[in-house]
């Protein structure tokens, strides 16, 4: 699987330019990478001009997700048992900005747990918004 197809690469570069032009810009993650055999997860909002440095939230499974830069080449170079590699969640879409993900992941201890909690909050909100029968 190609982790960054051209269309996604262009969107991530555009977010990097927007962040440089607008201090305080808080975009929603555009991509989620994950280890299919473990807890490591990355949420990506930007791709630097070098084509390798990604910015986002990284969680290697030690209970302390962190905001920062990480290398696309290093992630692509990870070799897992059974010939597996790091994958991109093609179905990932979020309406939460990166700051919300980071805060929730820190509180929950992982991006995966934060994803569950954020999904529950959306489900609860949708139920609360329904008109009475």
* Chain segment 2-39, per-residue pLDDT in tens: 899 999 999 999 999 999 999 999 999 999 999 999 99
φ/ψ (deg, to 5) at 42: -130, 135
Decide which of 126 and 109 is more confident: 109
CA–CA distance, 56 with 102 (Å, rounded to integer): 9
* pLDDT for 120: 87
DSSP 7-45: HHHHHHHHHHHHHHHSTT--PPP-EEEE-TTSS-EEEEE
* Chain segment 76-106, per-residue pLDDT in tens: 999 999 999 999 999 999 999 999 999 999 9
Residue 119 exposed, middle or buried by CB count within 10 Å (0-12, 13-18, 19+) = exposed
Overall size of the chain counted in residues: 133
CA–CA distance, 100 with 121 (Å, rounded to integer): 12
- The residue among 23, 21, 24, 59 whose CA lies nearest residue 39 is 59
């Amino acid at each position: 699987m190609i982790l960054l197809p051209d269309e996604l690469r262009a969107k991530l570069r555009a977010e990097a330019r927007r962040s440089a032009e607008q201090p305080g810009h808080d975009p929603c993650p555009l991509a989620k990478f994950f280890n299919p055999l473990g807890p490591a997860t990355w949420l990506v909002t930007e791709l630097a001009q070098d084509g390798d440095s990604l910015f986002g939230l990284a969680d290697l499974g030690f209970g302390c997700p962190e905001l920062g830069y990480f290398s696309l080449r290093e992630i692509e170079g990870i070799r897992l048992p059974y010939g597996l590699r790091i994958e991109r969640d093609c179905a990932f879409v979020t309406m939460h900005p990166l700051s919300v993900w980071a805060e929730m992941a820190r509180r929950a201890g992982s991006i995966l747990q934060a994803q569950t909690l954020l999904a529950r909050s959306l489900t609860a909100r949708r139920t609360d918004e329904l008109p009475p029968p």
